[in-house]
Amino acid sequence: MTSTDPTSRPSVRPTRQRRAVAAALAGFDDFRSAQEIHDLISQQGESVGLATVYRTLATLADAGEVDMLRNEDGEAIWRSCSDTHHHHLVCRTCGATVEVEGPAVERWTSAIASEHGYGDISHTLEIFGTCPACR
Amino acid sequence: MTSTDPTSRPSVRPTRQRRAVAAALAGFDDFRSAQEIHDLISQQGESVGLATVYRTLATLADAGEVDMLRNEDGEAIWRSCSDTHHHHLVCRTCGATVEVEGPAVERWTSAIASEHGYGDISHTLEIFGTCPACR
DNA sequence: GCGAGTTTGACAATCGTTCTCAACCGCGGT
DNA sequence: ACCGCGGTTGAGAACGATTGTCAAACTCGC
């Protein structure tokens, strides 16, 4: 590592571009694709390369500051999230999203995994349904 | 529509190609990508176009005869499915799959859902990790 | 065996995402 | 304020999965 930072943080610089992406993320609370976020930034008068949007989103996702999941077409979609691990309850009609936590599920998945000798575990869990307003 | 069939079934013909895909699917029990299935068919001495593999898999998935899900890269992967509801513990290196059941999870998801007033619930839960052999 | 409607396959076209690499910029030292 | 060392960016090429195109091949019922 080249980092001289004792916290071993890879030194993320606060550039104009990263600020623009953060600002765009603050502007909506549902899941958006990278392209949509890129367009949104343009509409806010900033100019940021698409590749940079991807890079920044990936970094933020890595840092746990945004959620990334995939829609049914396999496309990556993002939104800013709270800092704790959680899952989503998504209305399949209007897209309304509720963040839910399930310590029991977390425990269950790692238990199942190690029970079968699997390591380096991750999991995806999304719940789809129809929200009260759409019924 | 051009269908004159009173049952409105779209008339799926049992062609050599579709049989080859079905045979390939019967030859493994983990999740494979379309490309891998295509290769497998070649190795079995058959020749089927990649586009046809995609088309056939899509049809089978539609009919509920195969499971299709997406790996962490957003790639579609398929396998023939059993008829009971279950989830998967998938090795992200070799693809080895273990079917797991989680009554607790099922209960938890519906509890969470109704707690938020959501109905008509479905969910996806996949666990990815590294299997003992690949570590 | 015939004709109509399906299905196929080779390949082009899409489309989301990543890579490349020279130019650029933030930051800490001087 | 000036320098220089990386980290960062952007334009566009590259990539890889998936889908569309369309003429030729095939199935099926007659």
Residue A4 confidence (pLDDT): 36
Residue A19 confidence (pLDDT): 95
Which position has the higher pLDDT, B124 or B117? Answer: B117
Which conformational region is residue B14 in: left (phi greater than 0), alpha (psi within -120 to 50 degrees), or beta? beta
Residue B133 confidence (pLDDT): 86
- B26 vs A7: CA distance, rounded Å: 51
Residue A90 confidence (pLDDT): 81
- Size of chain B, expressed as the number of residues it contains: 135
Name the residues contacting strand D (CB < 7 Å).
Answer: A 2-3, 10-13, 15, 17-18, 47-52, 55-56, 74; B 13-16, 33-35, 50-51, 54, 58, 75-76
Which position has the higher pLDDT, A52 or B4? Answer: A52
Query: Which residues of chain B approach chain A closer than 8 Å at the C-beta?
Result: 70, 72, 74-76, 89, 91, 98, 100, 102, 104-105, 108-109, 112-113, 116-132, 135
Distance D9 C1' – A57 CA (angstroms): 14
Kindly state the average pLDDT of the residues B59-82. Answer: 89
pLDDT tens per residue across span A19-75: 999 999 999 878 899 999 999 999 999 999 999 999 999 999 988 889 898 887 899
Structure tokens at A30: 């549902």
Residue A5's pLDDT band, with cuts at 50, 70 and 90, is very low
Q: Which nucleotides of D are covered by protein (CB under 7 A)?
A: 6-12, 17-21, 26-28
Q: Which amino acid is at B71?
A: N
- A94 vs A75: CA distance, rounded Å: 18
| Nearest alpha-carbon partner for A133 in A73, A86, A93, A88 | A93
- A128 vs A98: CA distance, rounded Å: 10
Structure tokens at A14: 């606060």
What are A127's strand-pairing partners?
A89, B123
Residue B10 confidence (pLDDT): 52
Q: Is the pLDDT of residue B8 over 70?
A: no
Q: Taking the C-alpha atoms of A110, B87, B93 and B58 in order, what is their torsion angle to the nearest 10 degrees?
A: -160
Residue A131 confidence (pLDDT): 86
Distance D26 C1' – B51 CA (angstroms): 17
Q: Which residues of B touch A98 (CB under 8 A)?
A: 116, 118
Query: Which residues of chain A approach chain B closer than 8 Å at the C-beta?
Result: 70, 74-76, 89, 91, 98, 100, 102, 104-105, 108-109, 112-113, 116-132, 135
Q: Is the pLDDT of residue B67 over 60?
A: yes
Q: Which nucleotides of C are covered by protein (CB under 7 A)?
A: 5-11, 16-20, 25-27
